[in-house]
A = this chain, B = another copy of it.
Amino acid sequence: MAKLLIKNIELLHTPNGEMQNIAVEDNKIVYVGKDVPADFAADEIVDGKGKLATAGMVNTHGHVSMTLLRSYADDMALMDWLQNKIWPIEDKMDANDIYWGAMLGIVEMLKGGTTCFADMYAFMEDVARACAETGIRANLSRGLIGVAPDKDVKLAENTVLAKNWQGYDNGRIRITYGPHAPYTCPVDYLEKVIAEAAANKAEIQMHLCETKFEVDTVVKEHGMTPIQLMDKLGMFELGTIAAHCVHLTDEDMDIMAAKHVRVAHNPQSNLKLASGIAPVAAMLNKGICVGLGTDGASSNNNLDMLEECRAAAMLHKATTFDPLVVPAKKAWEMATVDGAKTLGFADTGLLEAGQQADIVLWDMHKPYWYPRHNKLSQLVYAASSTDADTVFVAGKKVVEAGKLLTFDEEKIYAEAEACTRKLLNK
């Protein structure tokens, strides 16, 4: 068994300057506290002096390979943006593009303190390979567009993905089914997807209630909201990660709470795409599990989970005119343990014995970390994702002194840039 000791480290809830220790065996935390277990013979010791240890952040929604389209098209109306910019270039992407786009997104996330992410896109075998190589934790689904001619091929790909990768590396990779959205998936296709997911004991991730237009369209066609429709189709019995949930009725939220639908809240994507502001305070009041996500880099335009955490902590105070809503503590839980629950990862997202050793050491020697009144509040309201100095996933050190250890960063930037130039010239 590989034994790791992180010593002289500060924690969110311990007094300033009080030194703590974290002991890790293989992929799990076995001890957190002031003493070092006497019989713990560490293979590696990391000195955490001046740093703060937290659980890694969990990005509950995105399309990681869209990093290749970062700032390719901004400040446009949604349909103009999709039809004239995003969809035409996405059509040209091949497995190589998807792989290097995923690598670029993963290096950004790991270096920024995000140790786990959700994905829904194409060529997912290549995304899974990128996760395997870099060491990041992930919940992957094949994006399923039910109005596409190759809809059945896509569904079959999702099942192959599940067969190949479900539970990989002690459960570091999970596979879900990814029906894209109510407006791109007719009911008969959704029924097929649900049956196939059930047959493979997999959960679902889906865009739901992202825009008012989507909800209005579904209500007009089916006489019920997207949440009511998915409930009627039995989707929620499988376990569902619902991305966005900006436009919900009170009854929708009651259904979601009763059926344990978990929400991927993407505050910045919803702002930038002018979708609106999700009723997060109301969802939390109903007891719904809400994680946070960045969405794809073409609608964000980075994969910075600390920004999303801050946005979630700030935004809902203003829309409710209540400064007590989504306090720093809740925002941080949403960014970590609630996100892990959202993605179905057990024993993940807390810095305590028995949990997966997904750990970030934050460098606090930055101006906005002084004076040190409240580390939790400073992390959520003041710090930068670039403060992530050392990052472990499942006990493996993947970032050290801000540098990726598991892959050549320079090669990733060069290949991502090359793929993009090739795509633009296609």
> Which A residues fall within an 8 A CB radius of B?
67-72, 74-78, 81, 104, 107-108, 111, 212, 268, 270-277, 297, 300-304, 307, 310, 313-315, 317-325, 327-328, 365-368, 370-374, 377-378, 381-386, 409, 412-413, 416-417, 419-421
Residues on the B chain within 8 Å of A383, using CB: 302
Residue from the list B212, B277, B384 in contact with A384, Cβ < 8 A? B384
Contact of B370 with A417 in the complex, beta carbons under 8 Å: yes
Contact of A323 with B367 in the complex, beta carbons under 8 Å: no
Say how many copies of this protein the assembly contains: 2
Contact of A315 with B271 in the complex, beta carbons under 8 Å: yes
Contact of A302 with B368 in the complex, beta carbons under 8 Å: yes
Task: Give Cα A263–Cα B77 distance, bound, in whole angstroms.
Answer: 28
Known A314-B271, A377-B74; judge A276-B321 contact (CB<8 A): yes
**Least distance between A13 CB and chain B CB atoms (Å):** 14
Chain B, Cβ-Cβ closest to A410:
B365
Residues on the B chain within 8 Å of A323, using CB: 75-78, 81, 272-274
Chain B, Cβ-Cβ closest to A277:
B318
Contact of A370 with B71 in the complex, beta carbons under 8 Å: no
Residues on the B chain within 8 Å of A367, using CB: 104, 107-108, 111, 409, 412-413
Residue from the list B71, B300, B381, B419 in contact with A373, Cβ < 8 A? B71
Task: Give Cα A315–Cα B275 distance, bound, in whole angstroms.
Answer: 11
Chain B, Cβ-Cβ closest to A315:
B271
Residues on the B chain within 8 Å of A370, using CB: 67, 70, 104, 413, 416-417
